[in-house]
Amino acid sequence: MSTRSDQEVARLTFEEFVEARGPALVRLARGLLRDPHTAEDVVQDVLAKALLKWGRVSAADDPVAYVNRMVVNASTSFWRRAARREHATEVLPDAGLADSTNQIADRDALLEALRELPTKQRTVLVLRHFEDYSDERIADLLDVTTGTVRSNAHRGLAALREHLSR
């Protein structure tokens, strides 16, 4: 499957945009939120809003960044309201091969540590390492300086190392 550049994605219809960027949006939300089902719900809500305003979204300088920012904002809003909600528990997978069980445990430990970070540090690390964004792009997306991005990344990685070493 070939990947499209952000400029190519910007010229797409809404349906083509969702097909091209949908999986990346879900990955972004899953990195920001605890529950994968909640992440999918957040992305669905964001895409519904983007569809209603597709003329404005597609006319933006960078529609991909625009929609990514919508996902980040919606995830942050969810975190703010999370204390008032019930939380579903994840069903643990059946015991399988030792390697896959260890990979699941490692992934779960990393996600647990990531969720304990402050929102800005978590957001910077997810955008940097899950979405492979540059510091400059993250700074534009979050409307902060690149120095703020770097310091949040540094502090977040230090906290992750400390948590995972325990």
Q: Which domain-ending residue is among 89, 107, 130?
A: 89
Instruction: Give 161 or 106, the one with higher predicted confidence.
Output: 161
> Is 160 in contact with 121 (CB distance < 8 Å)?
no
State the CATH number of the domain containing residue 130: 1.10.10.10
- The answer to whether residues 3 and 78 belong to one domain is yes
Query: Which of 89, 120, 152 is where one domain is finished?
Result: 89
Residue 28 sits in the same domain as residue 69: yes
User: What pTM value is reported for the model?
Assistant: 0.58
Q: Please, are residues 133 and 127 in contact by the beta-carbon 8 Å criterion? A: yes
Identify whether the C-beta of residue 139 lies closer than 8 Å to the C-beta of residue 148.
yes
- Average pLDDT of the residues in 106-113: 80
Q: Looking at the structure, do residues 56 and 138 belong to the same domain, yes or no?
A: no
Q: Is 83 in the same domain as 162?
A: no
The answer to whether residues 121 and 113 touch, using CB atoms and an 8 Å cutoff, is no
Both 109 and 151 in one domain: the answer is yes
Do 14 and 71 sit in the same domain of this protein? yes
Identify the residue with better confidence: 2 or 143: 143
79, 103: one domain: no
User: Residue 20: which H helix or E strand, with range?
Assistant: helix 14-32
Q: Please, what is the angle between helix 63-81 and helix 14-32, to 10°?
A: 40
pLDDT tens sequence across 51-63 = 999 989 988 888 9
Question: Span 67-92, mean pLDDT?
Answer: 72
Structural domain that includes position 12:
1-89
